[in-house]
A and B are shown apart, each in its own frame.
Chain A
Amino acid sequence: MESECPRTAALDLSSSFQNIEVAERVLVDLCNGSCCGQDDLDRVLSALREGLANAIRHGNRLVEERRIRLEIEVTGTVVRLRITDEGEGFDPGTVPDPTAPENLLRPSGRGIFFMKQLMDRVEFSSAPGGGTCVTLECHIGQHDGSTHEE
């Protein structure tokens, strides 16, 4: 397949759940005709949804005026997402394990777990303005079609 890699996009979004679909469309357009197959695209789309939902709900606390910066890079071997919010920042080490028996019936707290299951690399850092930046990477063509366990 002919591909033009790397392909990049950068979006500046308000904190609205409707914008998740906008971001999904941009990601699909970017991956169309690239080296990224459908299975990898499904994984990255799911991780994108989780990352943006976390940024909107937990980072920017549903304040629509607060911005979210989304950077997407598709190369011949990797799809990389970087999502930056304008929240207060957080320590990912304090998030409880959602698979622990005492947490199974909690209605929330599975977003980071999902991202880690889906992606090959999930890294949190502090944004210059004090928010959180999460970097997500999927290595293209290295998955067998099922959600992998770590």
Chain B
Amino acid sequence: MKSEIKDIGDVRIIRLAGKITIGAGDVHMRELVDRALAEGKKKILLDLEDVSTIDSSGIGEMVSCYTTVARNGGQLKLLRLSPKINDILQVTQLITVFDVFDDQQEAIASFS
């Protein structure tokens, strides 16, 4: 999995690309979120536009990141889901948990 990090104001945008699957991207995603928290970034946006595949471990890690950020007083939101990932979030009911945006500006503005 590849990643790109960008800060806009106090929002950390983590753009992920490739696979978020067991033993590979899932761990990398967690490390990026942990690093953001360690750097004091509590408003985190995961941009998933270029994620090709996600499995149950990747989804589980995303949920784990969400709860970790919330426990630390922050918010983790999702940006630009591919149709496949949107489908997975729908069937797992996790679409009711995550705030999801198609537009980056709108997503940034949504952080309180």
The chain A residues found within 8 Å of chain B, CB to CB, are 17-18, 20, 46, 49-50, 53, 57, 98-99, 101, 104-111, 113-114, 117, 146-147, 149
The chain B residues found within 8 Å of chain A, CB to CB, are 21-24, 53, 55-57, 59-61, 63-64, 66-67, 84, 87-88, 91-94, 96-97
Question: Given A18-B23, A147-B88, A107–B97 Cβ distance below 8 Å?
Answer: no
- On whether the beta carbons of A98 and B92 are closer than 8 Å, the reply is yes
- On whether the beta carbons of B55 and A46 are closer than 8 Å, the reply is yes
| CA distance in complex: A146, B91 (Å) | 11
Question: Given A99-B92, A104-B97, A105-B67, A17–B22 Cβ distance below 8 Å?
Answer: yes
- On whether the beta carbons of B22 and A20 are closer than 8 Å, the reply is yes
**Out of A49, A99, A101, A108, which one reaches B60, CB within 8 Å?**
A108
- On whether the beta carbons of A110 and B61 are closer than 8 Å, the reply is no
Give chain A residues whose Cβ lies under 8 Å from the Cβ of B64. 107
- On whether the beta carbons of A110 and B60 are closer than 8 Å, the reply is yes
Give chain B residues whose Cβ lies under 8 Å from the Cβ of A106. 60, 63
Give chain B residues whose Cβ lies under 8 Å from the Cβ of A99. 91-93
Write the nearest CB–CB distance from B19 to chain A, whole angstroms: 10
- On whether the beta carbons of B56 and A53 are closer than 8 Å, the reply is yes
Give chain B residues whose Cβ lies under 8 Å from the Cβ of A57. 22
Question: Given A104-B97, A107-B63, A113–B21 Cβ distance below 8 Å?
Answer: no
Residue pairs across A and B with Cβ atoms less than 8 A apart, 28 shown, are A17-B22, A17-B23, A17-B24, A46-B55, A49-B21, A49-B55, A50-B55, A53-B55, A53-B56, A98-B92, A99-B91, A101-B93, A104-B93, A104-B97, A105-B67, A105-B97, A106-B60, A106-B63, A107-B60, A107-B63, A108-B60, A110-B59, A110-B60, A113-B92, A117-B91, A146-B87, A147-B84, A147-B91
